Chain A
């Protein structure tokens, strides 16, 4: 029983970070109607920035959030402005052009990281990463708890932003109906740029929070892109609440899968959930929660 609770706890803590990844993806998906297949790669970039800051400036990874998030916001906005938005005007046979573009972007980011940092594994281990908190016999790994806490704070902040501010409302309006938003005077193009930046900043936060408990190599991006869309499909496209639930569900099921089935098949758990959701609950949890 203790093992079971421990597994679920680890899963939920991980789920907080997954939720951050998923929210970024779902925002982009909601507003632009595209799947951002460079999502994990953006996270990888943020992780390398964190790594460099820790290694050379000795900046604490959690303080690095203040740098990685704005950096990735700018990177995301630039990508959207100069590479993705021009495609809307291009006439082509395949509607999936923007998705293919994100694949290209992901490849370039991964290879640039490989050129600069080579393929070896890196990690950031401040002294407190090995500490744990205990509640009875259940251990809470300290960096995971911190990561979970910050992830929750960021998510609350994001919700307040989307619900209360003008820009946030424009983002939601564009996601709901782009034409109507345009008619009502929302600068949809600027909103898409902003949203991609925001999505990138959120996944950057996830990456930075993940680094003290994980390790880093250029190809890590691809695996997390897959996770990101599993979460988004599970939660329902464009649904931020769904992304949070989806993140936690993925975290817990991976954790259970790793404990009870096999460590090697941990990544397959996500894919199987993904297919089951696509087949039996198309539209994801959004169908059940309506938000």
Chain B
């Protein structure tokens, strides 16, 4: 980590300066989304990558955060910004309850249960019209016209999330998490209370995902159940961010978040208008293909398999050099 310190400083400095240099609203918007996904992906990774509990339901926490913020504004008469304070704890609370139920299950069963719970939340948000607004969703008015406040807030959230996960993983908790991932029975026989530490991992993960959700509500100013409780666009996207960057690594999900969001935007805008319009419909297809490719060839993601990628590169470069040498 020490060797990485100056690189981290460079990244942080660059991301602080970025919006002051690049004044285009569009690029700032893409970056804001990427930073939000850094938070969601890293949180997912804490639970799935480090603790080994693969969740297919992170949309629950994202949605809870977003709806907490939204309902603060529509029903309670407070500002939606209260969501930034209440959204995280609310999601953590729901996370605790869900964990209490679902951690009786292991491995794939846990994954399935999280899908089921996610679907229940989505359906409830659709049906409970008087409270959530149903399919009409919640529409607010953005507080700021400039993107800058949102950008710095997202940056702060992302850095706080990465730092928190870094700190957690360096503490005793982190060792317990990994022990549970590697072999839950062995960990329990060594006296690790697996249920408690899985719950803690889920609570931290849910907290930050809920914060990201509350941020989304404030930033986008519109949510509906199909957006924030979406299995494909949130839960599975969180998984993609994690596995493409690299599960069980600190910098994997942040990298994955940038790759996924840039990819999504590139396709959605049909290569920034350069390609024919129909290309914009391809972005989910490309995600799917990317998942297949990454799982087949880089099972541990870009960061996790970085040495493998480097070796592949250097052997190619080396081969090229020696061939060139022979030629001369």
Contact B123 A93 (CB under 8 A): no
B190 at the interface (CB under 8 A from A): no
Residues of A near B291 (CB, < 8 A) are 100-101, 103-104, 107
Contact A271 B123 (CB under 8 A): yes
Determine the distance from Cα of A222 to Cα of B181 in the docked complex, in whole angstroms: 29
Chain B contact patch, size range: 35 or more
A166 at the interface (CB under 8 A from B): no
Determine the distance from Cα of A95 to Cα of B108 in the docked complex, in whole angstroms: 9
A191 at the interface (CB under 8 A from B): no
> Within the complex, which residue of A107, A229, A272 is in contact with B285, where a contact is CB–CB below 8 Å?
A107
Considering the complex, give the chain A residue whose CB is closest to the CB of B54: A96
Determine the distance from Cα of A59 to Cα of B282 in the docked complex, in whole angstroms: 32
Contact A100 B295 (CB under 8 A): yes
A184 at the interface (CB under 8 A from B): no
Residues of B near A137 (CB, < 8 A) are none
Known: A100-B239, A101-B291. A278 touches B300 (CB 8 A): no
Residues of A near B292 (CB, < 8 A) are 83, 101, 104-105, 108
Residues of A near B285 (CB, < 8 A) are 107-108, 111-112, 115
Give the total of A residues in contact with B, Cβ under 8 Å: 44
> Within the complex, which residue of B120, B248, B300 is in contact with A268, where a contact is CB–CB below 8 Å?
B120
> Within the complex, which residue of B112, B282, B296 is in contact with A233, where a contact is CB–CB below 8 Å?
B112
B232 at the interface (CB under 8 A from A): yes
Residues of B near A100 (CB, < 8 A) are 239, 243, 291, 295
Q: How far is the CB of A1 from chain B (nearest CB, A)?
A: 28
Considering the complex, give the chain A residue whose CB is closest to the CB of B118: A271
Residues of B near A97 (CB, < 8 A) are 295, 299
> Within the complex, which residue of A86, A87, A108, A275 is in contact with B113, where a contact is CB–CB below 8 Å?
A275
B174 at the interface (CB under 8 A from A): no
Determine the distance from Cα of A93 to Cα of B290 in the docked complex, in whole angstroms: 19
B289 at the interface (CB under 8 A from A): yes
Determine the distance from Cα of A92 to Cα of B305 in the docked complex, in whole angstroms: 10
A279 at the interface (CB under 8 A from B): yes
B217 at the interface (CB under 8 A from A): no
Q: List 6 A-B contacts (CB under 8 A).
A: A83-B296, A96-B111, A222-B231, A230-B116, A264-B126, A264-B127
A residues with a Cβ closer than 8 A to B are 34-35, 83, 86-87, 90-97, 99-101, 103-108, 110-112, 114-115, 222, 226, 229-230, 233, 262, 264-265, 267-268, 271-272, 274-275, 278-279, 282
